[in-house]
Amino acid sequence: MLCSDSPNPRDPAAYAAAAQLAGARSGGFGLQWAWDSEACADWPAAAAQDRYTGPWNRPTASTILVLGNTGDPVLPYQDSVAMSRDLGRARLLTVDGYGHTEAANPSTCATDYEISYLLTGALPPAGTVCQQNAAPFPPPSG
């Protein structure tokens, strides 16, 4: 999906400059994503022709559920807040915790809302904040 979701440089050499910029903006995660997408240089150019490029502020048939972790090292929480406001019809579910995506450090509370949303379209109440199940660095045992 990575290669078909975005326009990507056809010249593999272009990824070095992209990695340098991404690294300056986002540290190691930026470097990783830039180099992960380098394989897209050989992806068929036509593969991305059907991707949706916006506008993103048009109301959708159903409300979009956006999850944002308050301590995400890749996607700052304020970006999740902004995206939930910029989308035409969205609800933000906040996970008060660490890690990139809720799956990296699970929250039963958030998972239950996700499952309910995917199965029935039900949304969490506006302003819902879920806690993660465990601290990211539990104290050593013994």
Residue 96 lies in a domain: yes
Query: How does DSSP assign 63-108, residue by residue?
Result: PEEEEEEEE-SSS-HHHHHHHHHHSSSEEEEEEEEESSSGGGS--H
Tell whether 35 and 85 lie within a shared domain.
no
Tell whether 35 and 77 lie within a shared domain.
no
Contact 36, 22 (CB under 8 A): no
Tell whether 36 and 69 lie within a shared domain.
no
Residue 139 lies in a domain: no
**Looking up tokens 């809302």, which residue turns up?**
113
User: How far apart (Å, rounded) are the C-alpha atoms in residues 99 and 77?
Assistant: 11
The residue segments making up the domain with residue 98 are 64-131
Residue 121 lies in a domain: yes
Tell whether 35 and 86 lie within a shared domain.
no
Per residue of the chain (142 residues), give pLDDT as tens.
578 777 788 888 888 998 898 888 877 878 888 888 888 888 887 776 777 778 889 988 999 999 999 998 888 899 999 999 999 999 999 999 988 877 778 899 999 999 999 999 999 999 999 999 987 777 788 7
State the pTM of this model. Answer: 0.72
Q: How far apart are the first and last CA of the chain?
A: 44
Closest among 111, 131, 70, 73 to 81, alpha carbons compared: 70
Tell whether 35 and 72 lie within a shared domain.
no
Tell whether 72 and 106 lie within a shared domain.
yes
**Looking up tokens 């326009």, which residue turns up?**
7
Total domains in the fold of the chain: 2
